[in-house]
Chains A and B, each alone.
Chain A
Amino acid sequence: MSVVSLVKVGNYSELRKAIERSFELIGFHFTQNLRKIVVKPNMCCYSDYSTGETTDPRIVAELLDVLRGSIATDLQISVVESDASAMKLKYSSKVLGYEKMCKEKRVPLVNLTDERNEEAKVEVAGHSYTFSLPTTIKDADLFINMPKMKYMLGTEISCAMKNIYGCNPYPKKFEYHQYLDEVIVALNKIMKPDLCLLDGIMVRGKCTRKMDLLMASADPVALDTVAAKIMGINPKRISHIVLAEEEGVGTSNYELVGESLQVFARRFPKKGMADKARLMVGRLALSTLRNLGFKTPPF
Chain B
Amino acid sequence: MKKINIGLIGLGRIGRIHFHNCMRLKDARLAAVADTSKKARRFAKSHGIKAVYEDYRELLEDPAVDCVVIAVPTFLHSECATIAAENRKHIFLEKPLARNVKEGKEIVSKVQKASVKIMVGYPLRFSIFSKVKNELDQGHLGDVVSAFAVNIWRGPFLSISNAQGNIPLAVPDWWFNPELTGGGALIDLGCHMINLLLWYFGDDIISVKSVLGHRYNMLFEDHAVCFIKFKQGISAIVNVGWYSLERLIKVDVFGTAKTASIVAGPAKASSHLLHTLGIKPLPEFASFYRELDYFVKCIINDQNPIPSAEDALKDLEVISLAYKNEIQRD
A285–B276 touching, CB < 8 Å: yes
Contact with B along A68-104 (1 / 0, CB 8 A): 0000000000000000011110010011010110000
B167–A299 touching, CB < 8 Å: no
A126 at the interface (CB under 8 A from B): no
Point out residues on A near B: beta carbons under 8 Å.
44-48, 51, 53, 85-88, 91, 94-95, 97, 99-100, 150-153, 158, 204-206, 208, 271-272, 274-275, 278-279, 281-282, 285-286, 289, 294-299
B165–A297 touching, CB < 8 Å: no
State in angstroms the CA–CA spacing of A114 and B282 once bound together. Answer: 41
State in angstroms the CA–CA spacing of A75 and B46 once bound together. Answer: 56
Q: Which residues of A contact B285 (CB under 8 A)?
A: 299
State in angstroms the CA–CA spacing of A159 and B273 once bound together. Answer: 29
Point out residues on B near A: beta carbons under 8 Å.
20, 23-24, 46-47, 154, 157, 159, 162-171, 173, 176, 215-218, 245, 269, 272-273, 275-278, 280-282, 285-286, 289
Say yes or no: A296-B166 contact (C-beta < 8 A), given A46-B157, A95-B217, A286-B276: no
Known: A279-B163, A282-B276. 15 other contacts (CB 8 A): A47-B159, A47-B166, A53-B166, A87-B170, A94-B216, A95-B157, A151-B163, A153-B167, A158-B165, A275-B162, A286-B276, A289-B276, A299-B280, A299-B281, A299-B286
B168–A275 touching, CB < 8 Å: no
Q: Which residues of A contact B167 (CB under 8 A)?
A: 86, 153
State in angstroms the CA–CA spacing of A94 and B167 once bound together. Answer: 20
Partner among B46, B216, B217, B272 whose Cβ is within 8 Å of the Cβ of A295: B46
Q: Which residues of B contact A97 (CB under 8 A)?
A: 217
Most B C-beta atoms less than 10 A away, residue of A88, A99, A150, A282? A282
A206–B47 touching, CB < 8 Å: no
Partner among B176, B269, B275 whose Cβ is within 8 Å of the Cβ of A91: B176
Taking the nearest CB of chain B, how far is it from the CB of A6, in angstroms? 23
12 residue pairs of the A-B complex, CB under 8 angstroms, read A46-B159, A47-B157, A86-B169, A88-B173, A91-B171, A94-B217, A208-B245, A275-B163, A278-B273, A289-B276, A296-B20, A299-B280
Say yes or no: A86-B168 contact (C-beta < 8 A), given A97-B217, A278-B273, A295-B47: yes
Partner among B20, B159, B217 whose Cβ is within 8 Å of the Cβ of A99: B217
Taking the nearest CB of chain A, how far is it from the CB of B203, in angstroms? 34
Q: Which residues of B contact A272 (CB under 8 A)?
A: 163
B164–A47 touching, CB < 8 Å: no
State in angstroms the CA–CA spacing of A204 and B275 once bound together. Answer: 26
A151 nearest in chain B by CB position: B165
Q: Which residues of B contact A204 (CB under 8 A)?
A: 166
Taking the nearest CB of chain A, how far is it from the CB of B317, in angstroms? 30
Taking the nearest CB of chain B, how far is it from the CB of A263, in angstroms? 22
Taking the nearest CB of chain A, how far is it from the CB of B38, in angstroms? 15
B160 nearest in chain A by CB position: A153
